[in-house]
Chain A
Amino acid sequence: MNNSDYDASFIAETLPAFVSEATEQTDLFEQLLLQLEDDPDGGEMLDALFRCAHTVKGSAGIFGLERLVDFTHHVESLLDRLREGELTLTAELNTLLLQSNDEIRWLVNSAAAAGDAQDANAQSRAELVRRLQAAGAAARAPSLNPAGPGSAGTEEPAPAVAAVCSVSRRWHVSAHFGAATFRDGMDPLAILNYVRRMGTVPGIACDVEAIPPLGALDPENCHLAYEFSLDTVATRAEIEAAFSFVGEDCRLQLFEPQANALEFADLIASMPDNPRLGDILIAAGAITPLQLEQALKSQSQAAAGGNATLIGRVLQEQAGVDATVIDAAVQRQQRQRGASAAPAEDNRFIRVQASRLDAVINLLGELVIASAGASLLARQSRQRKQVEANAQVGRLVEEIRNGTLQLRMVPIGETFARFRRVVRDTAAELGKDAALEISGGETELDKSVVERIADPLMHLVRNALDHGLEPAAERLAGGKPAQGRLTLSACHESGSILIRIADDGRGIQRDKVLRTAWERGLVERGVVPTDAEIDRLIFEAGFSTAEKVTNLSGRGVGMDVVRRNIEALRGSITIESVEGKGSCIEIRLPLTLAIIDGFLVGVGSSKFIFPLDSVVEVIEARGDPARCDARGRRCVELRGHVLPVVDLRCLYGLDGPAPARVSTVVIRASGQRYGVVVDALLGQHQTVIKPLSRMFRSLRGISGSSILGNGEVALIVDVSTLGDLAAAAPSGKTHRIGEPS
């Protein structure tokens, strides 16, 4: 394989990783910008922004994505000005940066899609570059203006910082650049140039021996290592910041001006692979040979007593070094020992292909079923030991199940955060002023659910902005604050996740909805459904009341698609609205699409499963079907409250006589409580959810099926639709009256 083949295959293999990393960076970039807009004093956020851009630029450089590197460089330069405090982040600049970020994202994606062939955005990008440069030029102040460490070349050195406010102190810096430094797009020359502008460098020593001779050199690996002193007024953090872009890759140690020889000894001990360090330190003028000898001697005495931490303690006692400094140094040492090649980040996260995880979860489903079968057989065999062994296996399977499903759980906050941008841009486009509030972003749910909920949510958010919130003038006239409020929240509720999208806009105008429904023939002319049913009409296919069709919503293909998408996830969507006050849309989704904890019950020969989280309690009842209505419903009194009860036997017309004693399972779902009459309680059951066949999709109250250990099929109850059945008025769903009211 020759070099170019190798490069091509390397790029083909690693480009997807680059795209996903760069996408993460651009997402983070956007979120940071939006946060900065709310909180302009976030200095560390600016640093984080810069790092995002820099990371993208660095990795783009590896892949030779010239356009991306060029463009990101301009963004980076502007950010650098912001970071240096030469510019302040105005709303205008923020918009410019957001647009630039979009462009970066586009460039990243186009790199993934078609290599480097098409460049449809060249013109608009040139315009962005021009604006970025103009914004940057406005900031060129005659003040101290060090170019960022990322910028290449040897620029005119700025005058050394005049020691006006504090006295210049002598630091000793030990910087060993990592092998990947050059490949990451970093230039130690620029960093040292930058450092030199912080003060004066009386002595610098390069570890010449560390550079291999030409024959053995990989010229793209960095072998540079430095020991130097630095006279500066800058603080430790400022010096460290100069190296922040090679941070993970660079072994950087800073010694306080009062550092004594013992600390250098510690430094030497921490780099056992570098026996020349002592000489280098002497060459750099940091230490005299005599001091070094003494220090090494006293250190070896200390080392005889224990480990690195102990040395640290000795140091602390002898030299009065700050404990945190030592802790940091010890940690750094441990980290370096732990991660020889991989950067620290990789130790905390492992990227796994979703398909592999899905395969594991599918197998796990089969394992759960098989284990249920085995424990059933064990029980039938009546051998105590076998039953116990199977119970043990069952417990372990359950733990694995929980652990594995946990792997798929991601916080919904990331999805929510995306809407900050949507709200910002959409509101601007519509000429409205809207603020987005987010709560419960830490709520976790299955990744596949998160992915599939993003589009429906997007539509609902846009809809709320477009139809829900009124223009500022109208709001003021209605006695509301000019700025509209949109709230996105999420929480867990009995085994499902509840997502709320609330606005304080005009609410649903029911007369308008009803008129449209009549016109479109969705409701028979003259029939007036209840308010809740009118609200529900907006989820019907082919329904739109928008007077003018904007490019955001109002094409009439929205809400019914949203509803269908959510129902496809076994979820439900409801809307509550007060005219003039606002609307609140609630989406309920199952936490996971794969496996749930179920509560197995029997009715006649049929088996049903309730999600265990929705079961509140079980009460005994008398089997008395005579008191039910035609659909198996009645009410009972439970501790002074009326509890609607539904009898599954009557509801689904199951065969077999009811036993003398039945149980009522009390279910809580969608904020209501109801009872379900069943014959037998069969206990907790790990339920692998299988979809219902097409034939049974329309069945109300049932959301799926599951296979029991003995091969029987149990039906999984959809507790919220069953609840609607139980609570609905006995005489039918709509009040049909003869004449229009």
Chain B
Amino acid sequence: MRPVLRLPPELSIYTVREVRAQWLDWLAGPPAAGPDGPGRTELGRPEQVDGSAVAEIDAAGVQLLMSLAREIDAAGGALQLASPSSALAGACDVLGVLAYLTGKPAEANA
């Protein structure tokens, strides 16, 4: 079973290339254990992503996160952003993708 993905402290244009490679490795690992047991892909099964460590983020970083969500989407899963740091949540809100990532409606200036 693959571990919960912890987002790095810096998610910006300077690190996106490197982080993308790490995430692709992470994706290549076994999928997370869902309620239906490991190893099976099922529609809408949440993939937890821990965003608590993110301190520095820019639009390129948010885009990368969105891209990860799209990838997981395409594989039939659903990315779920858990405990985003205030920087991350703020950036996602400004960029209009907070609801998409957390699965919750956006709160004004979270």
List residues of A whose CB falls within 8 A of some B CB: 152-154, 157, 182, 187-190, 192-193, 196, 204-206, 208, 211-215, 217, 219-220, 222-224, 226, 228
The chain A residue sitting closest to B75, CB to CB, is A213
Query: B53: CB under 8 A from chain A?
Result: no
A-B contact pairs, 12 of them (CB 8 A): A190-B59, A192-B94, A192-B95, A204-B96, A206-B96, A214-B64, A214-B67, A215-B71, A217-B20, A219-B17, A220-B17, A223-B63
Residues of B within 8 A of A (CB): 13, 16-17, 19-20, 23-24, 27, 56-60, 62-64, 66-68, 70-71, 73-74, 87, 90-91, 94-97, 100, 109
Question: Which residues of chain A have C-beta atoms less than 8 A from B23's C-beta?
Answer: 214
A196–B97 Cα distance when bound, in Å, is 15
A222 contacts B94, CB within 8 Å? no
Please indicate the chain A residues that have their CB under 8 angstroms from the CB of B68 in the complex. Answer: 214
CA distance A127 to B64 in the complex (A): 39
Among A193, A206, A226, chain B packs the most CB atoms within 10 A around the CB of A206
- Among B23, B94, B100, the most chain A Cβ lie within 10 Å of the Cβ of B94
- In contact, B97 and A154 (Cβ under 8 angstroms): no
A153 to B73, CA, bound (A): 28
Q: Which residue from B67, B90, B95, B97 sits with its C-beta under 8 Å from A219?
A: B67
Contacts of B91 in A (CB 8 A): 154, 189
Interface contact B97-A206, CB-CB below 8 Å:
yes
Given A213-B74, A219-B67, do A206 and B100 touch, yes or no (CB 8 Å)? yes
Q: Report the bound CA distance from A224 to B65 in whole Å.
A: 12
C-alpha spacing A9/B94, complex, angstroms? 38
Q: Which residues of B contact A153 (CB under 8 A)?
A: 56, 58
> How many Å from the CB of A281 to the closest CB on chain B?
13
Once bound together, how far apart are the Cα atoms of A483 and B71, in whole Å?
Answer: 71
- B95→A212 contact, CB < 8 A: no
List chain A residues, Cβ under 8 A from B97: 206, 208
Cα A226 to Cα B66 in complex, Å, equals 14
Minimum CB–CB distance from B109 to chain A (whole Å) comes to: 7
A729 CB to closest chain B CB (Å) equals 77
Q: Report how far A222 CA is from B17 CA in the complex, Å.
A: 13
B16 touches A188 (CB 8 A): no
Q: Which of B24, B58, B59, B66 has the most CB of A within 10 A?
A: B59
- Determine which residue in B16, B70, B90 has the highest number of CB atoms from chain A within 10 A of its CB, and name it: B70
Interchain CB contact under 8 A, A213 and B94: no
Q: Evaluate contact between A213 and B95: CB separation under 8 angstroms.
A: no
Contacts of A226 in B (CB 8 A): 95-96
Residue of A nearest to B26 (CB): A214
New A-B contacts (4) at CB < 8 Å, excluding given A154-B94, A217-B67, A224-B59: A187-B58, A214-B71, A220-B13, A226-B95
Inter-chain contact B16/A214, CB cutoff 8 Å: no
Residues of B within 8 A of A152 (CB): 58
Of all A-B residue pairs in the complex, the 4 with the closest CB atoms, nearest first, are A219-B16, A204-B96, A213-B71, A214-B71
Give Cα A196 to B17, complex, Å.
29
**Once bound together, how far apart are the Cα atoms of A188 and B61, in whole Å?**
11
A211 and B87 contacting across the interface, CB-CB below 8 Å: no
Q: Which of chain A's residues have a CB closer than 8 A to the CB of B19?
A: 219
The minimal Cβ–Cβ distance linking B95 to chain A, given in whole angstroms, is 6
Q: Residues of B contacting A212 with CB < 8 Å?
A: 67, 70
Is B17 a contact partner of A193 (Cβ separation < 8 A)? no
Q: How far is the CB of A391 from chain B (nearest CB, A)?
A: 63
Contact (Cβ within 8 A) A214 B24: yes
Complex Cα spacing A192 to B13, Å: 17
Whole-angstrom distance between the Cβ of A172 and the nearest chain B Cβ = 14
A714, chain B: closest CB distance, angstroms: 65
B67 contacts across to A, CB distance below 8 A: 211-214, 217, 219
Chain A minimum-CB-distance residue to B109? A157
Which B residues are in CB contact (< 8 Å) with A215?
A: 24, 71
> Is the CB–CB distance between A213 and B70 below 8 Å?
yes
Whole-angstrom distance from the CB of B73 to the nearest CB of chain A? 7
**Are B63 and A219 within 8 A (Cβ)?**
yes
Our pick among B58, B95, B109 for the contact of A206 (Cβ within 8 Å) is B95
Residues of A within 8 A of B58 (CB): 152-153, 187, 189-190
Residues of A within 8 A of B100 (CB): 206, 208
How far is it, in angstroms, between the C-alpha of A710 and the C-alpha of B100 when the chains are bound?
Answer: 82
Cβ contact of B60, chosen from A182, A206, A208, cutoff 8 A = A182
Cβ-defined partner of A208 (8 Å) among B59, B64, B70: B70
Determine whether the beta carbon of B70 is less than 8 Å from that of A220: no
Interfacial chain B residues near A192, Cβ < 8 Å? 94-95
Instruction: Please determine whether A154 and B62 come into contact, CB atoms closer than 8 angstroms.
Output: no
Complex CA–CA separation, A220 to B57 (angstroms): 14
Which residues from A are CB-within-8-Å of B87? 154
Given contacts A206-B100, A219-B17, contact A211 B94 (CB under 8 A): no
Complex Cα distance, B38 from A72, in Å, reads 53
Query: In the complex the two chains form, what is the Cα distance from A214 to B19 in whole Å?
Result: 11
B110 to chain A, nearest CB (A): 12
Partner of B59, one of A157, A182, A205, A214: A182
> Closest residue of chain A to B94, judged by CB?
A192
- Report if A189-B95 is in contact (Cβ < 8 Å); known contacts: A182-B13, A220-B17, A222-B59: yes
Measured CB to CB, the nearest residue on chain B to A195 is B94
Measured between beta carbons, the chain B residues less than 8 angstroms from A208 are: 66, 70, 97, 100
Q: Which interface residue of A211, A215, A219, A224 has the most chain B CB atoms within 10 A? A: A219
In the bound complex, do residue A214 and residue B95 qualify as a contact, i.e. CB atoms below 8 Å apart? no
Shortest A477–chain B CB gap in Å is 64
Q: Which residue of A lies closest to B58 (CB)?
A: A187
Contact partners of B63 in chain A: CB under 8 A: 211, 217, 219, 222-224
Please state if B96 and A222 are interface contacts (CB–CB under 8 Å).
no
What are the residues of chain A within 8 A of B27 when measuring CB–CB? 214
